[in-house]
Structure 1
Amino acid sequence: MRKLIWGLLLSLLCAPALANWNDPAYVKRAFSLIALNNEYDNLSHPVRKWHKPIRVYLDHRVGDAPLHTMLTTIQLGDLARVTGHDIALVDAPGKANIRVVFTTEKRWQDETRELWPTQKDFPFRGAICMAHMTTSSVGEIKTALIVIPVDLARHRGKLLACLVEELTQTMGLPNDSDKVYPSIFNDSSKNNLMSPLDITLLRLLYSPEVRAGMGKTQVMPLLDKWFTDHPGWPQQSIDLYLKSEFVTKLGL
């Protein structure tokens, strides 16, 4: 199984169209596209990230709660391992700053509007699942909501991809782009798990020097310093990928 995983990984990383993921200049462009932009507007944004501990409540409104809990727990463990941030599940919505709702296609749009009433117009068109964040005036993420219509996601074969992408986006990587590859933030790459590039973006975002509210001119020199201080970063990101429980235990 490990040889198969390595073969699949190397086939991705060695493909000509993907060969630049371990080039710092390519990663910096990817960081700018994914971290400093939004999926639903064309504006430039400052760095957004959590500074306080993340507490996640799972709101089960459909069956298969043990499966959904297991998948979420694995992804949260990977996010904590990659970022070094304090992330844990809680047993009540009042204790949480991220709420993950597992519901149905019939109800999910109404429930999203009920749970997130401050936004009137949601870009539901073509979406299979959705995440929203609130930030402070300086870009610190305060709360997030993820809503997954399980029946729709499973019908499209995207339940795992929805969980992985939305949880990762609520860390402060909210944009999608076809220019970033291989990545869960690129719908054309068909990744269900975080790629080594995605892991690198998270490591950059959660380096201690990078603070919420920083603009592009402030953060880019810090990324240059990070690459200099971490000369083995490509292999380290691959190692973090291989340590994922999705890979080591589930063989995905």
Structure 2
Amino acid sequence: MQALRRFLILFLLPGLLLVSPVQAANDSFSTEELLAGFEKTVFGLEYRSWSWRPYLVKKFTTPVRFYVHNLSSRDRRKTVYRFIRDIGKQVGGLTTGVADTPSRANFEIYVVDRAQYEAVVRKDVYKSERAKVPGRCLVRVVSGRNGIKRSTAVIVSDEGEFLFKRCLVEETLQGLGPMNDDASLTHSVFNDSSRHSRFTVFDQIILNMLYDPRIKPGMSQQQTRPILPLVARDARRRVR
């Protein structure tokens, strides 16, 4: 059945800059900027060749349970767990936690050294030894009309703090639903030419808009537009 079809989505992080700027304040953005940011990130995919019906809302509708596989020479779990907790605190309507086994997780994060990257992506993400592995880090999302079923991110640990933090933030957040990048989003990590390596205030508002209960999985851009200004107003109030 078409309603039960799943689509697989691959996101890659190409070129990056090396400076993390000071965060903008809650009132630094107009409502129009937030509405445009929501539409640019939520509707569409950074890489469309693996998509199915990309221009629909995609989000988790159940608690997101993460499992962290730290395969790198440096143990990054404390940093990843802290970010997972922060997401749960900063995004209303989204519950995050840590699963004790991969089988109980619906979002797995692999932290790897560069030398491990290709093998992990082929084995644990694509499940194919012959798969091509582009990008510096990535996330894959399995979703359908009723919401995201599962996400898997691969984060590189040993090529500097900026790349690690940038990959962790962008790939994890994209695995929650805002799946497109846009070069015009200067306040956002969803812009591969931006200098951000943190969960910016702008992106916190976008995630709060997406996880507002009035925004449903499978909604089209046209369906969200009548309610989006109110959703943006309420999301801005939640983010301080």
Tell me which residue corresponds to 2:181.
Answer: 176
- Matched-pair contact (CA < 8 Å) for 1:46–1:139: no
Gaps of 5+ in 2: 1-20
Task: Tell me which protein shows more helix as a share of its residues.
Answer: 1
Matches within 5 A, 1:142-181: 142-152=149-159, 154=160, 157-181=162-186
Which residue in the other structure is 1:206 paired with? 211
Pair 123,33 (structure 1): closer, same or farther in 2 beyond 3 Å: farther
> Within 5 Å, which residues of 2 pair with 1:1-252?
8-9=22-23, 12=24, 22-41=29-48, 44-65=54-75, 68-84=76-92, 85-117=94-126, 124=134, 127-136=135-144, 138=145, 140-152=147-159, 154=160, 157-227=162-232, 230=234, 234=236, 236-237=238-239, 239=240
Please state how far the C-alpha of 1:110 moved relative to its aligned partner. Answer: 2.2
User: Relative contact order (C-alpha < 8 Å, sep 6+): which is higher?
Assistant: 2
**RMSD of the TM alignment (CA)?**
2.5
Q: Is the alpha carbon distance of 1:170 and 1:110 closer, same or farther for their aligned partners in structure 2, counting shifts above 3 Å?
A: same
Is the Cα–Cα contact under 8 Å of residues 40 and 123 in structure 1 kept in the other structure? no
Shift of 1:236: 4.5
Larger radius of gyration: 1
Aligned in 2, Cα 1:54/1:170: closer, same or farther, shift over 3 Å? same
Distance of aligned partners of 1:173 and 1:122 in 2 relative to their CA distance in 1, 3 Å threshold: farther
Amino acid aligned to 2:174: Q
Q: SS in structure 2 opposite 1:143?
A: strand
Deviation readout 1:143-193 (Å, 9 max, x if unpaired): 1111122223x2x73111111111111110111111112111112221111
> Does the 8 Å contact 1:47/1:139 carry over to 2?
no
Question: Secondary structure of 1:146's partner?
Answer: strand
- Distance in 2, matches of 1:170 and 1:80, equals 14
Contact 1:196 1:234 in 2 (8 A): no
How much has 1:130 moved relative to structure 2?
0.7
Describe the shift of the 1:218–1:90 C-alpha distance in structure 2 as closer, same or farther (beyond 3 A). same
Query: Aligned pair count?
Result: 215
Q: Distance in 2 between matches of 1:123 and 1:93?
A: 23
Which has the larger displacement, 35-44 or 143-152? 35-44
Q: Deviations over 1:220-240 (max 9, x none)?
A: 212122245x3xx54642x2x
* TM-score, L = length of structure 2: 0.80
TM-score (norm 1): 0.77
CA distance in 2, matches of 1:89, 1:184: 24
Looking at structure 1, the residues matched to 179 and 143 of structure 2 have their Cα atoms a distance apart, in angstroms, of 12
